[in-house]
Amino acid sequence: MVDGKLMIDERATVYFLGTWVPKKLAATAYPQVYRDSTGALLKGDKTYRLHLPADTPARDFWSTIVYSMKTKSMIPNSQNLVGLSSYDKAKMQMNSDGSVDLYFAPNAQPGKESNWIPTGEDFFLIFRLYGPEKAYFDRTWKLPDIEGFPG
């Protein structure tokens, strides 16, 4: 209740927006990342790299978004950028084998700006697979660990 009002319409809208998906998606999967490859919680003042293999099993697309550990919301920043997805591949630096390295840090690595998601405060990631494929469900593919990166 807010000011004696039950907020039914507002709650219904939030529920709808949080659960609606396009008709053609068979399923979605949302692996979450809170810790780096050493087991330490992700820190907003450090630089990390997530290496996504070319065979990431998303029939429709994949996406990753950074969320604040404090607010559990997207982190505002001057770039107005909270995530990247496979739809952004045309503007990202891809590796020769079709994989891509994503960087999470308060500042972009020189030459890696197109693969960078700003942080600046302690954070976690939600990685989304839209139309996850068999390799995800049978666990022959696993989201790689996020690694600390010099910088």
The CATH number covering residue 49 comes to 2.60.120.600
Which residue range(s) make up the domain with 54?
A: 25-148
pLDDT in tens, 33-92: 999 999 999 999 999 999 999 999 999 999 999 999 999 999 999 989 999 999 999 999
Phi-psi group of 144: left, alpha or beta (phi > 0 → left; psi -120 to 50 → alpha; rest → beta): beta
Q: Could you give phi then psi for residue 117, rounded to 5 degrees? A: -120, 120
Judge whether 61 and 130 are in contact, CB under 8 Å. yes
Which strand (E) or helix (H) includes residue 17? helix 8-19
Query: Of the ranges 11-15, 38-42, 100-104, which one carries the lowest mean pLDDT score?
Result: 11-15
In a domain, residue 14? The reply is no
In a domain, residue 126? The reply is yes
CA distance 60 to 86: 9
In a domain, residue 1? The reply is no
In a domain, residue 43? The reply is yes
In a domain, residue 18? The reply is no
- Amino acid type, 13: T
Question: Among residues 137, 148, 136, which one has the least CA distance to residue 53?
Answer: 136
